[in-house]
Structure 1
Amino acid sequence: MSGGAPTGPQHDAPGDPPPLLSVQGLHVTFPGRRGAAAARAVDGVDLDIRRGEIVALVGESGCGKTTLARSLLGLVRPTGGRVSFDGASLEYSGRALKAYRRRAQLVLQDPNGSLNPRHTVYDIVAEGLRIHDRAGDERTAVAEALARAGLRPPERFFLRYPHELSGGQRQRVVIAGALVLQPELLVADEPVASLDASVRGEILALLLRLRTELGLAALVVTHDLGLAWNIADRVAVMYLGRIVETGPVEQVLTAPRHPYTRALLSVLPEAPGAPVVLTGEPPDPSYVPGGCRFHVRCPVLASGEAERAGVADACRNRELEILRGGDESQVACHWARAEQPAAKGTG
């Protein structure tokens, strides 16, 4: 990993303001088909995001990241738990969700799929203003949003269509469409996954600048821990519907405690040593293993290290609790807690 993690807001002092977004015990379960067991896509998650903070949610495909992100915006209704925004519980009536989505906006990973090819850039960005009946000068608002997203002079882009833009420009239009409502939170699902490497850095720099200039908070969903290192203040590592490790990005990514986090980091090009190969695919969320849900793929258990630490039976049979929301480093791993007792009190 090159560079260093951005210096984010510190929240250790008593009397700090409450999180902008708070998730408590969140569950999202999808019914099984033809009598099959229900899929526990999100299976108990606590997560906080504070004003002006960027949190990266990382993990393999299929671990529940996108379902969690969509549930935070009310696009998927949770089957249990609570989402709170600015101290108030999220309500799922049409009027309440519409008001909420003025303040919390989604940025999708594929601008080609999220931009209407028959609409001009102006109409794409203005759509949110029209849906929410925002007062004021529409042209000025659209121009300001495009300029903040790095499309300058904005008027040059008003009458263009998506196919006339580069991939990076299309992603900036998507971001401008979110910014035009002046939100307080962005939920960005793989925001640079479809972009060339040369453009990825520009979009990440834009998100950091928006945090600085506008005080925006963001949840960035990604499978790329290198991206998390370069943009996030905190990171939450997700596996099979749960957060298994969380904390300040520099702590989690330079001294990972969970074997899953270590495996994800080991495949980065600059990582020392050989990559850690996880056996098999993540288990079906309809059939979550007993004990630690990672134990069927865990290299620490397979190597005998968990046995030597005296926790192998716990790994196979004793479920780990949901990690608390908050800022401190935490890990859901019997072996990590046994091997690092000094850190046990923090998770």
Structure 2
Amino acid sequence: MTLGVSGVLSRISELQDQLGLNPAPAAATSGTKFASALADATRTGSALSGTVGPNGDDVVAAAKKYLGTPYVFGSTDPAKGLDCSALVQRAYQDLGVELPRTSGQQARAGRPVASMAEAKPGDILAFNSPVDHVAIYLGDNRMIAAPKPGDQVKIQNVYEKPVAIRRVLDTVPAAAVQDMSALRPAGLRSSGGLSGVPYAELFEAAGARHGVSPKLLAAVAKVESGYNPQAVSKAGAQGLMQLMPGTARGLGVDDAFDPAQAVNGAAKLLSKHLREFKSVPLALAAYNAGGGAVHKYDGIPPFSETQAYVPKVQKALAALGG
């Protein structure tokens, strides 16, 4: 069915909201307003068309970082071990691309590739029916996988015909991977002003994903935990970003001691506060004391901890050049 003018405008607005871009102009039936909205959307796409996104070789490089990691069923923490789908998920996540968690779900991600003859490095190979194993294709009939308990992440021959081959990267909208050169694995890029800062890649990836300054995330981590992913406060806040268990659950963080999950959750929370309060100091106050307290006092709450916390983070941010 052909969309009317208002329908097209609504779709433009919806896409821009989903991608975290400036909202499209309000829907209207005026031809002038429609042309303006369409032009805005076109300019957005043009501005992004020159950005360098990740490619299959980047996926392979990201996956190879985990070579030798023990296979641990159900684990998504490389420090403890990874299972097959966690390896695939982490490799893509390191490039700022989110994939579902399980092998069966990953076997439906992206778009299908017809055969091994058409497979390219970075494609996901899925095995068995129902799917219970996935790997990342390297080319030349080789793949990288976390094979089974007692084994480790390693490079193997593609030992049998996959039941599915999926290509993810060319299904990711350009706007969803803005400036992906800043998300490539260590060794393939500079760290965008966070050189030498622990977990710089995580701050950059989560910052790009949620529209938050990576330097702000790094400053928060510095003040919250001193970059210690195992830190626990007297109040029970956990991990690198010191998330309270209830807050972590609400942000979709299953393990606050996992740096990648913690940084992503903190970026999501800070993004929400920045949109709500439109002020970095107030967003930081909300991160420390809760948004309700900031609303109640119409500013930084008169709590000694929060009053000290905000300038500490701002000082750390300034030291990072933020």
Q: Normalising by structure 2, report the TM-score.
A: 0.32
**Higher share in helix:** 2
Q: Normalising by structure 1, report the TM-score.
A: 0.31
**Higher share in strand:** 1
